[in-house]
Structure 1
Amino acid sequence: MGRPHRRRRGGFRLWVSRLGAFLGVLSALLFAAIISGVLYAGVRVRKVAQAMPDSTALSRETAGGITQIYSTDKVLLGEIYTRFQERVDIDQIPQILRDATISIEDQRFYEHPGIDLRGIARALYKNASGARRGEGASTLTQQLVRNVILRNREKTVERKLQEALLAYQVERSMTKNQILERYLNEVNYGGQIYGVKMATKLYFGKELKDLTISEAALIAGLVQSPPKTYPFRHLEAALDRRNVVLGKMLELKKITQEQYDKARHEEIKVLPNEPKVVSEEYKAPHFVRYVLRQLKLRHGNEVVLQGGLKIYTTLNWEMQQRADAILRSSIRAERGRNVTDGAMICLEPHTGWIRAMAGGVDEKSEVNFTTYGKGRQPGSTFKPIVYAAAFETGKYGPDSEMIDRPLKLGRKVWPKNYGGSGGHGNSVTIEHAVAHSLNTIPAQLIQRIGWKTVVKLAERMGIKSKFPQNDLSICLGTSSATPLEMASVFSTFANAGDHAEPMAIRLVIDGRGNVLERNEPQIAKSVIRESTAASIGRCLEAVVERGTGKGANTVPGARGKTGTTTDNFDTWFVGYTKELVTAVWACNRQEKVKLDPKTRKPILDENGKPKMGPVYLKMDSDATGGHVCAPIWGRFMEAAVPIQQSAGLEPIPLPEELQKLRGATPQPPPTPQADRLNEDGEVVISICEETSKRATPYCPDVVEKSFPKGIKINPCSLHKAPAESELTAEGTTDTHSTPIPALATPGPVLVTPAPTPAPTPTPTPEPRRRRRETPPPTPEPRSRVEEERKPETPVPEIELAICTESSKLANSYCPERVTRRFPKGTRLRTCTLHKPRPGEEDR
């Protein structure tokens, strides 16, 4: 019997041994799994962190708003926006609305560091227990990061990790009030309504300060699901959500039981009409779209459409109205000659300011003929360029005599004069040839002085369109040019040989008062000699007095040139006075069935139907530049010149911040946060982020850092009080003789002086960043007008032409350019995007 007993005892030991081994292996595997999981999570977090956007984008990004465009005579030409949004400071948002938002969205907002672990645990428990389906745990900071920086709602591990890490970083760089302010300005409250200010205005038709508890709770409740609680369409759902918010506010003791009962039974009255986002109803629509196109190329769509810009243009609204009305009525009156459309553009020759732009008879059309495509053949309006090139040689002038006869080019005799005459072989002066628009004389001149000479001068005078290589027929206007280009050319004659580049935008200010653009006239001096400009002016005066442009002789001091292309496809008149230069163009453009150029059969669309498209047709034989366009020019200039002469009496509207700078008196500067000790016994000091020295009242970006007690830190010497001359900004008037706001460089301006702090030694330890947990007892008023940073020694600058498409140094083939300032000695790569066509390299 003893032997079986020993076997059982041995079996028990074996079982315990095997169990221990199994548990050991299991523990090892579990430990390995945990280590692997930690390493894997670490790798994932590191990858996410490396691909993570910059958290400081949140503090840099401007709140959206409505972009507004103004004329020089203080008229709002249009508003551009893709959503309703208007920024408001935190101190203007009522406490009841702040409490309602925090209660329902993030009740521990002032306690957590951007990520609420307790809230995550609570949400997991409630979702698992079914007590409340779908409870979220995102903090206000996480929601703000999601909407402003990440801009996506993908439910992936990477995005959630990025959101959490960014929220933690944001909390270390911004105060709680700054985060809350940005949140209440950025969140969607249904439809295209963003921010509490527009939500209050569009739902209730009132200001924030007038909100009731019930209305504040309704607005706060919209954030969770804006489409499902949109008050204009789902008011009952919005009211149900309001009641949930009120209950949460009562639970957290933000309101009393009496306030809860009253708010819950309060009747909510939402405005009857749902707002519509309309951004295409402009005054001067062709001009406004021209301006927007330039700004989008330079700053991007988002800045223009959502940046709340103030754009101050060169257009005069009164002059524009006359241009539109005269063009439409005149083209309508010429329909008997098969004239159906046209365009007109007016410049101020001394500045290049575009004063009026009528891009076509149909204002709603996207086609702006003043700048459309490659342009049209300018006809005889090109001839003054040929004569100017000849006058520049010093061998020719208005009184020079030449024989009126065509050239012999091999077997070809070319050209004929208008009407089919080959010239009479008579001796005529150049002035006579210009006045009567002879073709033979400019043909002789371009043959003598050379095609390249004429082309180079045309480009310097403002024509950016390409020229056919070595084609002498360009002297008769067979190349292409837009009305804007032709007006630019003639402005050189009106401006005594100096050429002003056409410009439409004078000043652009963003939603926070920062100057994005401040454009001055770009003048190229002595493109032609002053004597050449005067001689051309004399010839063009003869055109109006006794030549083909008599239809414009109702305007005192008028000078100009007619143009009519072969078979009367295009007619022109371009002319000027000392005040203005205007180009008028007309055509017969109709919608017709598109034909294949080879087979001449209709081109069919995907449904087998003939495609329709614009077709240019012949006008009547008497629809010439002198008969059609010169009278239009005369009628417009009779109205426009007096407007130009009387312009400049009133300043254009400026943003409120710049208006305040006029006559501003120095105020005591804000005092940086005083040094204090933290819980570790270290001293907390306000540090300038840019220089890492003790902050002064003029440092724009300040953080608090901890240092060993007794450390001494030198004050920042980069940011100083502005000079007295910088304390005012003059308004702009409607003439170029008065400057636009006197801001030295694009950027904000401060109007307060600074004391000079005593120097102290430089710190040696590396400071560690700490977030300011609570705002100062008396927060300084926030303003969009901040400090202009000026170097102690001015850096010499140069102006360079930049291609708007490649952002590189423009070459002669870049179609769109903008002039920018750079430190002297800056070297930029030349644009390689725009190149000459084959065979044009010698140009």
Structure 2
Amino acid sequence: MRKTDGLLKLTGLCLLAGVLVAGVLFPVAGAAGVVSNQASTTVDSMSSDLANDPPPLVTTVTDSAGNPIATLFKQYRIPTASDEISDAMKWALVSVEDRRFYDHRGVDWKGTMRAAISNQSGGDTQGASTLTQQYVKNYLINVVHRVKDENDTEAKVGQEKAQEQSIARKLKEARIAIQLETKMPKEQILTGYLNVVEFSRQIYGVGAAAKSYFGVNAKDLSVAQGALLAGMVNNPGALDPWNHPEKATERRNFVIEKMVENQKLAPADAERAQAEPLGVIPGGPSKPAANCTGAGTENGFFCQYVEDYLLKSGMNMDDLYTGGYTIRTTMDQRANHEAKVSAETQVNKTQKNVANTLSLVRPGKEKHEVVALAANRDYGGDAAQGQTTYALPSGVYNTGGAGSSYKIFTAAAALQQGAAGIFGNIQTPGSYSSKMFGGGPPRCPLIARGTYAYCLNNNEGSNYPGSMSLQTALQTSPNTGFVILEEKTGMGPVVEMASKLGMRETMASNLGGGTVDPESDDAGRNTSQQVAFGPKENSPGNASFTLGPAPLSGLELGNVAATILSGGMWCPPTPIGEVTDRDGKPIPITEAPCEQVVEEGLANSLAVGMSKDDLPGGTAAPAAAAVGWQRPTIGKTGTTQGNGSATFVGGTPQLAGGAMVFRPEGGRGGLCDGGPGKVSTCGEGNMFGGKTPARTFFGAMSKILEGQETVPLPAPDPKYEQPR
């Protein structure tokens, strides 16, 4: 190199250094009122971001008593105050990352100048960032420009800029660091850094790292443990102690040497610390699951409903998983356990293509709290072990249908229209042809070209009289009687009643022409659903509605019973007791208001009409008798064509519920019930609502209500006792 070239380059570097120093000093001068321009606005804005954008925290989901059941997070972080962090951890970090941390004002002049000259002259890219600067960088990457989803390109660009190897980035970072040092004491900056930095595997902050790596609180971190964590911040992935134990040990021991050089550790103590094993939790890190799988196989379905409910209420997924909320749910641990035990007693969890669910709701005129959501299948990701993450109890996943449980809506509409009274007789012939059907088997009478009547019979072997009271019809469930009643009432009021009493998402799903199939693209589709919810009153195909052929939600079915037992007051089935933010302040949740959907007298009369199903002669009587059931109860069973699914809906004034057994993977064929634990798919089914579903309901309820007072059902309203 010629001397002139060297001189020119040296002169350029000196000028560069001068510009850098001036640029770094700029915020101080600006703060004193000497200079003010666009750059200061940028620095102030970014500093505000650090102050206004709180770091992502873990959201905790609890049961009704406040016991944690799950954690939801994108960054596992346990906020830790300065006095909750061991001195060994603090000095390990300062010694290896910023020895002069307590002496500078945000920027290490010597290191910054050396890095600037080296980078500009073509040497290795150097950092020389202080802990304050690293705090700024980590906050920008992990908080301000945190990527919220795969489409968050703006955040990705922000992260790239926060990490780019350029003088411009270093200059901006240094400016913010100096400004922070004028506003925050050193201990606060150090604590802030230790709460925001990443330690690999979605573990952020020293509080979470101490728990995950060593199973201790941050306050109890030893020299060796603190040195390991302090060394990791340099390159968390490459220094992961489980994947790279040798590199992690080498780096830890290097940090310990730096502590000796910084006179924060005696040589003899350092030697002992360096000789220690890494001491991390075997097979770790030990941290909770980041989603509802952490609620376990039993409580996971409830956690999933909580998540779904909050998202439908307006909370977005990122906020839910980063807001640090405490969500106290309405789940009763004991009730949920008994529901799970009962569902699994009836149907083995690994039984192929058979789901058995139970949803329990507490009636009330101000709120309908969901108490339990259970299934025979475990909640989780291992399908071979009978696990699923589909919301079987709450979602519209029973594609087989509810069967005769939908006769409740026909009865309610008939009472409202005056077409029937709860003690008045209705026609129940052995067979019937309804002209409301727009297509059917050739054996049905031809109404017009291509249009046949809807032909149906009562259950084979049944010996119904030609007429009976509506109360007896609800108890014994003749098909013909309810199709005739449906014709008298009109299809519009019946469909409307189903929505009013609680089948709202179910109805919306079916009106949209869609089915929800958790396992395959076409299995389980019910072709009659397209005609079952026809938009025109008395239009072809509507006759089958009262026999419940379309997909449904078991939770909504249970909420129907809750509405009836609440005097006709519908409320959304809510899993939310209270939501508080990271500071403990209550957060309002947008929920649909309760509605008086039918007169209280009608609801009370309908409850009396449904009060005989568990008594001798009722379709659920054997299941109730098997557990010695004695409580006044409303109930209605249902079985679909071909016995491919069955339901039971019922309840007492204290607790209502819906039980379902169905083929979640769809397919042709029925379900065979050989008794508890002996339920399977088959060709010719023998499943009925009074079997598996009713046994599941009464098996759980007998345990849950044990020791509680027996509450009578309300008295009927004379207005609804006879047809008007």
Query: What TM-score do you get using the length of structure 1 for normalisation?
Result: 0.61
- Show CA shifts across 1:747-800 (max 9, x none): xxxxxxxxxxxxxxxxxxxxxxxxxxxxxxxxxxxxxxxxxxxxxxxxxxxxxx
Q: Which has the higher contact order (CA 8 A, sep 6+)?
A: 2
Shifted more, 632-641 versus 300-309: the winner is: 300-309
Q: Does 1:311 align with 2:311?
A: no
CA distance in 2, matches of 1:59, 1:619: 65
SS for the counterpart of 1:575 is: strand
| Pairwise CA distance, 1:343 | 1.2
- 48, 51, 63: which is aligned to 1:56? 48
Shift of the alpha carbon at 1:590? Answer: 5.5
1:519-558 CA-partner distances (Å, limit 9, x unpaired): 89x6624321122112212221123322322234432212
Distance change >3 Å, CA 221–CA 623, structure 1 → 2 = closer
> Does structure 1 conserve the Cα–Cα contact (< 8 Å) formed by 2:356 and 2:662?
yes
Whether the 8 Å CA contact 2:354–2:681 is kept in 1: the answer is no
Equivalent in the alignment of 1:469: 535
Partner of residue 88 from structure 1, selected from 80, 96, 100:
80
Aligned to 1:577: 652
- Conserved 8 A contact 2:434-2:543: no
Q: How does 1:137-536 map to 2 (within 5 A)?
A: 137=129, 139-144=133-138, 145-151=140-146, 152-153=159-160, 154-155=163-164, 163=173, 167=177, 170-171=180-181, 174-213=184-223, 215-242=225-252, 244-246=254-256, 248-249=258-259, 254-255=263-264, 259-260=266-267, 262-266=269-273, 267-272=275-280, 273=282, 274-277=284-287, 279=289, 280-281=293-294, 282=296, 283-295=298-310, 298-332=314-348, 340-350=354-364, 351-363=367-379, 364-373=387-396, 375-376=398-399, 377-405=401-429, 406=432, 408-409=434-435, 411=447, 412-419=452-459, 426-464=466-504, 465=507, 466=511, 467-470=533-536, 471-517=542-588, 524-536=594-606
SS at match of 1:180: helix
1:562 aligned to 2:637? Answer: yes
Instruction: Indicate conservation of the 8 Å contact 1:71/1:77, yes or no.
Output: yes
Contact 1:486 1:583 in 2 (8 A): yes
CA 1:237/1:632 → structure 2, altered by over 3 Å: closer, same or farther?
closer
Cα deviation for residue 574 of structure 1 reads 0.8
**Structure 1 stretch displaced more, 618-627 or 562-571:** 618-627
The alignment's C-alpha RMSD in Å is 4.1
Q: Determine the C-alpha separation between the residues in 2 that align with 1:173 and 1:375.
A: 59
Residues 260 and 270, structure 2, Cα contact 8 Å, conserved in 1 = no
Counterparts of 2:683 and 2:593 in 1: how far apart (Å)?
Answer: 38
Point out the structure with the larger helix share: 2
Residue 93 of structure 2 is aligned to residue 101 of structure 1 = yes
* Number of positions where the alignment pairs a residue of Structure 1 with one of Structure 2: 578
> Which residue number in structure 1 is paired with residue 614 of structure 2?
544
- Which of 114, 135, 139 aligns to 1:122? It is 114
Q: 1:245 to 1:330 in 2, by over 3 A?
A: closer
Identify if the C-alpha distance between structure 1 residues 59 and 294 changes in structure 2 by more than 3 Å, giving closer, same or farther.
farther
Match of 1:604 in 2: none
- The answer as to whether partners of 1:500 and 1:524 remain within 8 angstroms in 2 is yes
Q: Aligned partners of 1:582, 1:563: CA distance in 2, in Å?
A: 14
SS in 1 for 2:649: strand
Deviation digits for residues 491-530 of structure 1, max 9, x if unmatched? Answer: 111112112320112123344434335689x662432112
Match of 2:699 in 1: 635
Report the equivalent of 2:3: none
Deviation (angstroms), 1:89: 0.8
Instruction: Please state how far the C-alpha of 1:113 moved relative to its aligned partner.
Output: 5.8
Stretches of structure 1 that go unaligned for 5 or more consecutive residues are: 1-29, 39-44, 594-615, 647-843
Alignment check: 8 A CA contact 2:362 2:656 kept: yes
Indicate how the Cα distance of structure 1 residues 446 and 395 shifts in structure 2: closer, same or farther if over 3 A, else same: closer
Judged with a 3 Å threshold, the aligned counterparts in structure 2 of structure 1 residues 536 and 268 are, in CA distance, closer, same or farther, namely same
Q: Is this contact kept in 1: 2:559–2:657, CA < 8 A?
A: no
Say which is worse superposed, 500-509 or 226-235, in terms of deviation. 226-235
Q: 1:127 to 1:408 in 2, by over 3 A?
A: closer
Residue 264 to residue 592, structure 1, CA distance change in 2 (3 Å):
farther
Determine the C-alpha separation between the residues in 2 that align with 1:328 and 1:458.
29
Distance 1:175 1:620, change over 3 A: farther
Going from structure 1 to structure 2, the CA distance change for 1:402 and 1:51 (only over 3 Å counts) comes to farther
- Distance in 2 of aligned mates of 1:312 and 1:419: 46
| CA pair 242-435 structure 1, distance change in 2 beyond 3 A | closer
State the AA in 2 paired with 1:635.
Answer: G
Amino acid at match of 2:238: K
Q: Residues 389 and 247 (structure 1 numbering): CA distance in 2 closer, same or farther, change over 3 Å?
A: same
Secondary structure, aligned partner of 1:631: helix
The code of the aligned residue for 1:294 comes to Y
Report the secondary structure of 2:573's partner residue. Answer: coil
Q: What letter corresponds to residue 308 of structure 2 in structure 1? A: R
Residue aligned with 1:224, SS: coil
1:552-611 deviation per Cα after TM superposition (whole angstroms, max 9, x unaligned): 443221220111111112111111111111211112455879xxxxxxxxxxxxxxxxxx
TM-score, scaled relative to structure 2? 0.70
* Distance (whole Å) between structure 2 residues aligned to residue 424 and residue 81 of structure 1: 58
| Counterpart Cα distance in 2 of 1:246 and 1:133 | 26
**1:362 Cα deviation after fit:** 4.0
Given that residues 58 and 77 in structure 2 are in contact (C-alpha distance below 8 angstroms), is that contact kept between their aligned partners in structure 1? Answer: yes
Given that 2:398 and 2:662 are in contact with CA atoms closer than 8 Å, whether structure 1 keeps it comes out as: no
Answer with 1 or 2: which has the greater Rg: 1
Q: Specify the code of the residue in structure 2 equivalent to 1:476.
A: L
Contact 1:65/1:306 (8 A) holds in 2: yes
Q: How high is the sequence identity, in percent, across the aligned residues? A: 25
Alignment of 1:599-610 (within 5 A): none
- Shift in Å, 1:163: 4.4
Structure 1 Cα separation of the partners of residues 453 and 85 of structure 2: 82
Structure 1 pair 264–504 and aligned structure 2 pair: CA distance change class (3 A): same
Stretch moving more, 499-508 or 231-240: 231-240
Q: Given residue 645 of structure 2, which amino acid in structure 1 is its aligned partner?
A: D
SS at match of 2:473: helix
Secondary structure, counterpart of 1:543 in structure 2: coil
Amino acid at match of 2:573: P
Distance apart, 1:229 and its partner CA: 2.8
Quick one: structure 1 residues 389 and 201, their matched pair in 2 at CA, closer, same or farther if it must change by over 3 Å?
closer
Question: Aligned with 1:85: secondary structure?
Answer: coil
**Displacement, 1:247?**
5.2
Alpha-carbon deviation of 1:418? 2.3
Summarize the Cα distance change of 1:302–1:134 in structure 2 as closer, same or farther, 3 Å threshold.
same
State the shift of 1:345 in Å. Answer: 0.9
SS in 2 for 1:623: coil
